Amino acid sequence: MAAGLGDSPLFGYLVRPRDEALPERLLPPHLRPGAFDGLRSAASRVRVVASEPGAPLPLDEAPGGHHGAYLSNVVDYLAEPARRQLLAALVARLGPGAPVLVYSNEAWGKVPADLGLTLDEAASARARAADRAAIYRRVEVYRTAGTPPPSDPGPRLRVVS
């Protein structure tokens, strides 16, 4: 049994020497080179925005320069002032009626009510129903003020696995 553990995708990383790179066949699918190429090509309208702690977010300055935001556990790790700053920056740059999807593991909501985001109950219910991971306590869709987006927003992202 011990001889085969080094070639097991479940145990290979535990029994192989730390300085030895795992062969690609032992890597989980999401860590293999090119794993997200299909998703990236299908999601050409999506841009991931990241910044260093304390640095301003590299967002387009023009209002409406972004069409939505996806925050997965981000609100859980920010103190209240930083959370307000992030959400205010998003609201200032999102178009009217733009969605902000907020995943959180907290029991209480962390989106301040006075920032111009309104909870979209119907969209939140649809997002919760579509959440196959079911690891979040809160799955909420908020909308910026203004005219809601058209009923058909165009191409949607494909789910790939």
Q: Give pLDDT tens digits along the chain (161 positions).
A: 455 777 777 777 677 887 888 888 777 776 677 766 766 666 555 666 666 766 766 666 666 677 888 888 888 888 888 888 889 888 888 888 899 999 888 878 889 889 989 999 999 999 888 887 778 888 999 999 876 555 544 444 444 43
Q: In this predicted structure, what is the pLDDT of residue 43? A: 57
Q: Are 95 and 64 in contact (CB under 8 A)?
A: yes
Amino acid in the structure at residue 13: Y
pTM above 0.85, yes or no: no
The domain ranges of the chain are 2-31, 37-144
Q: Computed from CA positions of residues 141, 145, 149, 151, in that sequence, does the dihedral angle turn out positive or negative? A: positive
